[in-house]
Structure 1
């Protein structure tokens, strides 16, 4: 199986907005570790930016739309693309790019768990991709109804089995760590 890493919405306006994501520093470190591992096995990296309409805080090119500077993405080698919906596939050419790269399995990480992570996992499966969801590689903010921790655990449990293979991030491309030791 060919693998690719899909990073969703790790942008300044979401990562460092007025409401901070749950365990954001740990999740960022986890995603950066997965970027390193993807590079070690030459897995392509796709990076989605949520793009709002003109005049919105996250309109294309605005400061809050930019990727978080601590994210170890390389715009020259990674595949950056914009989306306007929770699904990374709707209105984008992501499916075509994945097909061209002969990718059939996606590792999905980023933000926000109950919106773009959940939707993209479900749509990816509908499109015929296998999905690996690192249970510790996505985050969101607290809501009035649920804590972020509860949202994350609920989605990890709900998506596991029918939609994704739920794993710990340390188990994704884990042979990379053994090879470098």
Structure 2
């Protein structure tokens, strides 16, 4: 069974000054996935990105808390990470193996950093990945719009690194 892996849906990244592109639609897609995973008894993991002391995402910052908009039921495993790749230094591989997960469905923030890095690593670690096409986002950058970043990653990651599927089509 696939596990649901939600990356960095934290107060500072979702409700901060740089709002994610299609943030409400992304959140609805993620909540749809949470409902499906809970109903199927699939394991759910939520990563919280921690920055260095003194940064906006310092470990003691309220900005690192998960957003209250998520439909959580208390069965989820929450873990902290300090690198874009959610597998580095977190014990995620061991947690996935322990619960019997055979793959991961990936959603969350930010497309060009944590979502990209985690999708690229998952298969190499033995967990074929599904990227939720409408379940990840980011903010505009000086060089590219968030819409272009999301479209680029959905196209680039598809096939070589993961399957790319809309939330409504995913079953656990």
Same fold per superposition (TM over 0.5): yes
> What secondary structure is seen at the aligned counterpart in 2 of 1:106?
strand
Larger Rg: 1
Deviations 1:66-105 (A, max 9, x none): 011111224x321000000001010110000001111111
> What secondary structure is seen at the aligned counterpart in 1 of 2:3?
strand
TM-score, structure 2 length as denominator?
A: 0.97
Shift >4 Å, 4+ stretches: none
TM-score, structure 1 length as denominator?
A: 0.92
1:111 aligns with 2:113: no
Q: Which residues of structure 1 form unaligned runs of 5+?
A: 175-181
For the residues of structure 2 that align with 1:57 and 1:169, how far apart are their CA atoms? 30
Residue 140 (structure 1) aligned to one of 138, 141, 150: 138
The 5 Å alignment of 1:111-130 reads: 111-130=109-128
Q: 1:55 maps to what in 2?
A: 54
> What secondary structure is seen at the aligned counterpart in 2 of 1:137?
strand
The 5 Å alignment of 1:80-119 reads: 80-119=78-117
Q: How many residues align?
A: 172
